[in-house]
Amino acid sequence: MALFNQLYQIKGLHAEKVRKLTELLSCRNIDVFYISIVLGLWQNLSANVDNDSKIEPAKIDPEQMIRYGREIEYFYELVMLNDKKGSVSLKERINKAFRIRGTEAAGPDEERFTQIMLGGLDFFYDSIVENTNSKEDIFNNICELIQTYLVTYPEKE
């Protein structure tokens, strides 16, 4: 899939959010990318790309994109299967997830994937960073986010 075997750039204000999250959480850009996809799916969120060229993009190296390519493809499949924007039928969503990905026809779907990741990134940032004054606040925000997720999707015995 062409989108996931090359340098991936998160632009504009979203790049600043990635940098802040990686700094506060001591993680990598790709970790923020993963979490953002899951949160975007969970919360059914999306955001438009901010192409502000004055802000240095946050980058994920091609080597990381390739190394984690199968996992990213899995997330892509989940996004395509769950995205009902435009009242797309299940058959069309299956085609988007498994048949046309990586082709020229998949361009709008790849943009949609990015929008969902960016929506998740906004939610992640707002949930963790907004209204924090200390590392303890950040820790409490992470715990609250995890607790909310666990209440929404409890473990099955």
Q: For 60-110, what is each residue's pLDDT tens digit?
A: 999 999 999 899 999 999 999 988 776 688 999 999 899 888 788 888 888
What pLDDT does 156 receive?
A: 72
Please report which confidence band the pLDDT of residue 2 belongs to, taking 50, 70 and 90 as the band edges: low
User: What is the pLDDT at residue 86?
Assistant: 67
pTM of the model: 0.89
H or E element: which one contains 8?
Answer: strand 8-10
Two tokens at 88?
Answer: 């797309």
Q: Report pLDDT for 135.
A: 87
The pLDDT-based confidence of 54 (bands split at 50, 70, 90) is very high
Q: pLDDT value at position 21?
A: 95
Tally of CA atoms within 13 A in the half-sphere of 15 that contains its CB = 17
Within 8 A by CB and 6+ apart from 116, the residues are 37, 40, 41, 45, 46, 79, 83
> For the chain, which residues make up each domain, given as ranges?
8-152
